[in-house]
Chain A
Amino acid sequence: QKEVEQNSGPLSVPEGAIASLNCTYSDRVSQSFFWYRQYSGKSPELIMSIYSNGDKEDGRFTAQLNKASQYVSLLIRDSQPSDSATYLCAVQGGYQKVTFGIGTKLQVIP
């Protein structure tokens, strides 16, 4: 059973702080990794993808991948109340199939 583990939260951070979201996965042959943001009542929206070890930055978002530790994280700098949402970690294995974690609910407190 291929699993993607996330802490369901909620994770509360004050406005302007760095939010750190973490994800572990069980399938060692996983090839690419995604972070999605899902607002309540909406469908998931792709934030970033990453497939090489290290950091990948896009604006206020940084994704970090460590394949040896089977660990993916997402950092959100200068968190805003509009960042309050559920963040889904997703892991792609063979045949382009993606497994999603349960998601971490982030609350940014003004």
Chain B
Amino acid sequence: NAGVTQTPKFQVLKTGQSMTLQCAQDMNHNSMYWYRQDPGMGLRLIYYSASEGTTDKGEVPNGYNVSRLNKREFSLRLESAAPSQTSVYFCASTDRGNTEAFFGQGTRLTVV
């Protein structure tokens, strides 16, 4: 059982480039989330999808877009990467009516 799978694990982008971070979960969870983790700041919510077909902004959504492709997959897109988006990105999912989030292994993104 893979749980939450993120790709890629590492990425280096030049300022202005675009890319999409992929996330898939095999636990049949309804809700999915994208967080970013910066040193000394814990995890901050970028966007979430409470259920298939819906997406909502979190605490730090600027510069990002998301797509809930189906129940399994939730992608995060950076249209024009900036150095301030250098971070570790985590995808997570929760089951219906449950707060306990399961996390992927993260994508380490560097924007130069």
- Decide whether A and B are members of one complex: no
